[in-house]
Structure 1
Amino acid sequence: MLRINLLPWREQQRQAALRRFQFRLIGGVVLALCVVLLMDQLARQRAQHQLAANLGRQAAIAGLDTQLEQLDVIHQALDAAQAQTALLDALFADRGYLTALFSALERALPEGVQVVELKVEGERLHVVGLAASSAVIAQLMRDLGRSGVLLDLELKRIESLPAGEKFLLQARMSASWS
């Protein structure tokens, strides 16, 4: 029987299988490394896109914040304008009362009385004037009391001056004023 020595052939087969295994292993490692690098690159690109999108959103938010600040200023101006409008409406509504007050004051003002100051605080009226005598002041108070525009007339102060009597008269305005 012939004996064939297959050991060298088997050794070559083993070496070839080992080289194929090594090439496949190196190929697999290189392929895995390429996949990892590709995934890393994709993740970095995605992060950059996300950063750019965030910066764009922050810029949009900053723009909206400035618009909100402008809107707040506009709201404050609107509130101030509405308050002024309400005040003007109240003054316009009181215009008839002021006319009635001045008309009643004119009718009740006797000869020898001069009104120096007329001030309204809430529903109180303060009249500072100069009169020829205290009898003229009493006549003024009677006539103002009859007019119905002023209530609770009260003489707060009277001073004698060389030019006449200086007086301070206070009154409460009628209910139509308040």
Structure 2
Amino acid sequence: MAHINLLPWRENLRKQRKRNFFLQLLGAVIVAILALVLWHMQVQEQISYQKNRNAFLKSEIAKVDKKIREIKDLEKRRAELIARMNVIQQLQVSRPQVVHLFDELVKTIPEGVYLEKLSQAGDQVTLEGWAQSNARVSAYMRNIDKSAWVKDADLKIIQSEDKKKTKLGMSQFRLMAKQANPNAKPEETAQKSGTGKKG
């Protein structure tokens, strides 16, 4: 006797296709999720790499900045040392000139003239004092102009006996002169005079 399959084969086929479709869809979703996870991991790795690189660059920049500060400090200290050396050198050079200056001031002061104050700025010398008469001041200026170590005497103030007289009958004066150096080389003298003209 023959067997007849009464089950709805079309319904079974539809269910099978539906099951296959969902399985394929599930596989696609899983693949998409895996791809997304891999992409996210790659992005995170790149971010982490960039962060590490940024941290390294910041560290190197900090080291360079520190070295720059150290170099600037060294340059500042070097400039200060050079300035001190220049001052010491100028003092050593000008020491004999100061001795000659005071020696010449003693030699050039005529009788009846008394110095009260002496100041110097560079080669400019200011002399203040008292004199028994204007003629004594004139004699003092002539002596200065004859000196080898002091020159260009210029009278700035003289308070004559008619305007102001002390109890001793002396007049007050202030004159300016320039310190000279007869031992200086001609080019040094020309350089100093040229600098003075510019200023």
TM-score normalised according to structure 1 size: 0.72
Contact kept in structure 1, 2:104 and 2:150, CA below 8 Å: no
For each residue in 1:66-97, what CA deviation from the matched residue of structure 2 results, as whole angstroms up to 9, or x when unmatched?
A: 44334334433433432343233233322232
State the shift of 1:147 in Å: 1.5
Report the counterpart of residue 177 of structure 2 in structure 1. Answer: 171
Rounded Cα–Cα distance in structure 2 between residues aligned with 1:135 and 1:156: 15
Report the counterpart of residue 93 of structure 1 in structure 2. Answer: 93
Report the counterpart of residue 58 of structure 1 in structure 2. Answer: 58
State the shift of 1:144 in Å: 2.0
TM-score normalised according to structure 2 size: 0.66
Report the counterpart of residue 166 of structure 2 in structure 1. Answer: 161
Q: Deviating runs (4+, > 4 A) in structure 1?
A: 8-22
Matched AA of 1:51: K
Rounded Cα–Cα distance in structure 1 between residues aligned with 2:129 and 2:84: 32
Matched AA of 2:81: A
Rounded Cα–Cα distance in structure 2 between residues aligned with 1:18 and 1:91: 108
> Percent sequence identity over matched residues?
26
SS in 1 for 2:35: helix
For each residue in 1:104-156, what CA deviation from the matched residue of structure 2 results, as whole angstroms up to 9, or x when unmatched?
A: 11222334433222223344321112234444433332322222222222222
1:49 and 2:49 aligned: yes
Gaps of 5+ in 1: none
State the superposition RMSD in angstroms.
Answer: 3.4
SS in 2 for 1:148: coil
